[in-house]
Structure 1
Amino acid sequence: MYKLILLSFITIASCGTPKNTADAVANPTSQTTAELKNQTIILALGEHVMLGSLKVHFKEVMEDSRCPTGTNCFWQGRAKLLVETSEDEMTVESNELIFGKLKPGETNNHTFYQSGKTTLIATAINPYPTSETGTAALDYKLVIDVVIK
């Protein structure tokens, strides 16, 4: 019985462990250029994309405590990301985006840039952790919808 309780405690504790990947980017940042049009773009962690004069940088995964598939967790968990946008090399905004469970005072707004006719909306963070992989070595990709009205 003692071993079952201990195993349950370890499983529960691992589901809520935040992950800081600020220093975990193995590859230097790369930059691509995309036409400013209605499209879906995918940015790898550390990557930049130029949309006209707008630079979008997927800077950091601040936390990834999402409950891995194939496990049972008491808390849904979440992924918390940092995305920066800049124009003419001047930072316009740094946005924390949260996918999953919110804490009091947090909002679920994935629209992280809006100016004129251009809107950028984060739609997903991939891949989702599994019981085999956890979050230790995930190759994070941020899915962004570019909407031009």
Structure 2
Amino acid sequence: MLHKTIILSLGILALTGCDAQKKTRTETEPKVAEMNSGTNTSIPSDQKDMIYLSQGENKFLKDYEMNVTFKGISEDSRCPEGVNCIWAGVAVAQIEVMGLATRPMTLNLASMDHAAKNYHQSADFNGYTITLKEVTPYPKAADGTKALAGKYKIGISIQKAETPSGSTTK
């Protein structure tokens, strides 16, 4: 009897924890209306398909049949605001993706393309091209990137991958 009572109470605690997690997640997700500060209520075409993730956040994207997790920023050499730099720098986000019938795969997406340094803004996964569009916040001269640990947010877009001309698909 005691065993059943303990299992029942753990189940109730787990369910209330899930409910609390849903509430905090919906409160922290950016609203489209808040993003548009102007009077025009239409969403820009480049932001229609944007998916925003906070560091450590996990989302299942039903339309694409994949799970996306923003693991963190492995490199942030972007030039801080208010500083003159020779190179603009780059931020590299680690994004773990997993399809319904695939194993997890970690993609390192950069804020810009630079093939010589092996920085790629886009990567293909499971028939889709995933592109890093936005990394916030931007580093400040006084604080540097160490102050941003755990506070990063990214915006990605997912598009159907283009098949090369002349190729056949089954």
Structure-2-length-normalised TM-score: 0.55
1:102-125 CA-to-partner distances (Å, cap 9, x unmatched) read 36251434244352xx54322111
Q: Which amino acid aligns with 1:98?
A: A
Q: Which amino acid aligns with 2:139?
A: P
Percentage identity across aligned positions? 30
8 Å contact 1:78–1:101 — kept in the other structure?
no
Q: Does 1:77 align with 2:83?
A: no
- The aligned residue for residue 132 of structure 1 is 142
- The aligned residue for residue 44 of structure 1 is 54
The structure with the larger Rg is 2
Structure-1-length-normalised TM-score: 0.61
Q: Which amino acid aligns with 1:131?
A: A
Higher strand proportion: 1
Question: Aligned-pair RMSD on alpha carbons?
Answer: 3.1
Structure 2 runs not aligned, ≥5 long: 1-20, 27-47, 162-170
Which one of 121, 136, 140 corresponds to residue 131 of structure 2? 121
- The aligned residue for residue 164 of structure 2 is none
Specify the SS of the correspondent of 1:77.
coil
Higher helix proportion: 2
Structure 1 runs not aligned, ≥5 long: 1-29
Q: Does 1:96 align with 2:108?
A: yes
